[in-house]
Chains A and B, each alone.
Chain A
Amino acid sequence: MDSLDFIKDIVLPPLFEGTLVTLKLLVFSIPLGLVLGILIGTGRVYGNRIISFLCTVYTIFFRGTPLLVQLFVIYYGLPSLGIYFSPFTAAVIGFVICSAAYHSEYIRGAFLSIKNGQMMAAQALGMSRMQAIVNIIFPQAIRRALPGCSNEIIYLVKYSSLAFMVTCVELTGAGKIVATRYFRYTEVFLVIGALYLIMVTIVSNLLKVMERRLKIPGLG
């Protein structure tokens, strides 16, 4: 069987199934990771001493340990405490936790880049600190954080392949299974690479469109 037929008939069907799983992982992980990252980043900058401390510890911990280790702990470690997750759920939890740690850094930096005068002017109008953060500071900060967060989201598209390590058969996992069965790694992994490239291109273009939509003169 030549390469093209092999790819078309044998490789692509399972890879498409794997791609669907990857996409499903991303659909949950990207928004949840971003939301958690925003909460952690906000807590670090504007939380009281305890909240700020806890959020900082979170970031140190989950940015400082390998994602693979986190996934292993979630999937293989937690059952010893009586906590069981499906492979898919375990992977999503790991991705959300890890990407949130990175997002929180971008968000924190963006918050710190907003001039103090914005908060002062908001409070001078009679806004509470919370109102000022929500209505004035955050809408500016998120625009500044977006390029950094986009980068993290693109990483996430690729490190979603680690889900296979907790037996969630996504794109890379599906490929590994096919490749091993037929012992034809080159074709299979080239196709996998191309599929990731397509996904990354789509995601980064979507993010670019979002950045452009949110763009405001003089901000960002």
Chain B
Amino acid sequence: MQEDQPIVLKIENIHKRYGETEVLKGVSFTVKRGETKVIIGPSGSGKSTLLRCINQLTIPDQGRVWLEDEEVTHIKKDINLFRQKIGMVFQDFNLFDHLTALRNVEIGLIKVKGMNKKQARERAYNELLRVGLKDQANLYPAQLSGGQKQRVSIARALAMDPSVILFDEPTSALDPELIGEVLEVIKNLALSGMTMVVVTHEMGFARSVANEIIFIENGMILDQGSPYDLFINPKHERTKKFLYKITELYGKSKDE
């Protein structure tokens, strides 16, 4: 269904080096509207760095990023305008600790988008409703469970009306019994047509939701294709091995 959709995000030849180590060695891919792209790969393969290079929280050494025909990496463009449109959900949530759930969601609307307080509050409340947290609106992050925190952070990203949301291992810091509630929310977003790039180790989720899976190792894309291509018919022996190992480790049927 995404075949004839416009391209929302285009990443071209991203390189990033930290001292001696080249973390990313020329990664390119595109994401179409409504597509869910899942990035998998072993720890240290550069997946998180790649996501951060997209919204320039990490500045790539080389390579370019486009968001809807506009170049994010263009030197003269205001990066903050792009970041408003690129949602990000972090592994360790990074909720603002001094604000309630509701205020976490509305602060971007007020301070960045300049929305008036009443409208922002209403919008924030609706986003919390959407992730199933209306009763927690007035609690502080320290009073929420991990799964609830992550859902607030998803609501915070959603409130900004982003063109694409980047998920950086959204369930990796969660207790096993809390993973489901977060995946459920992300899955519903995928179904509702949100454009997303998700770094994850949840293979069941990847299989059931991804339009395309990208396998990254040593800073390069080793394999990419539909879940069917990768799980049933991988091109590389290495992909097969990784998928076998990780599926065994995390279990395969959480989402099936």
Contacts and interface: CB of A to CB of B under 8 A. Distances in A.
Contacts of A139: 98
A211 to B, nearest CB: 14
A135 B142 CA distance: 19
Interface stretch (B13-21, B32-40, B106-114, B128-136): B106-114
Given A120-B57, A217-B140, A218-B140, A125 B160 contact: yes
Nearest to A135: B111
Interface in A81-134: 115, 117-118, 120-128, 131
A219 B98 contact: yes
Interface residues of A, number: 22
Classify chain B's interface size: 20 to 34
A131 B111 contact: yes
Contacts of A131: 111-112
A116 B199 CA distance: 20
B28 interface: no
Given A126-B160, A135-B111, A218-B143, A118 B80 contact: no
Contacts, number: 76
Contacts of A135: 107, 111
A117 B57 CA distance: 11
A143 interface: yes
B83 A123 contact: yes
Interface string B91-127: 0101111100000000110011100000000000000
Nearest to A125: B108
A125 B83 contact: yes
Contacts of B141: 218
Given A124-B55, A128-B80, A219-B142, A117 B96 contact: no
Decide if the interface of chain A is mainly helix, strand, loop or mixed: helix
Contacts of B98: 136, 139-140, 143, 216, 219
B201 interface: no
Contact of A126 (B81, B95, B140, B142): B81
A144 to B, nearest CB: 10
Contact of A121 (B82, B95, B113): B95
Contact of A127 (B57, B80, B94, B156): B80
Given A124-B83, A131-B111, A219 B97 contact: yes
Contact of B96 (A118, A123, A128, A217): A118
A217 B55 contact: no
B194 interface: no
Interface centre among A121, A140, A143 (most CB of B within 10 A): A121
B97 A218 contact: yes
Closest 6 pairs (CB-CB, A-B): A218-B142, A126-B84, A121-B94, A117-B94, A124-B88, A125-B108
Interface of B: 55, 57, 80-84, 86-88, 90, 92, 94-98, 107-108, 111-113, 140-143, 153, 156, 160
Interface of A: 115, 117-118, 120-128, 131, 135-136, 139-140, 143, 216-219
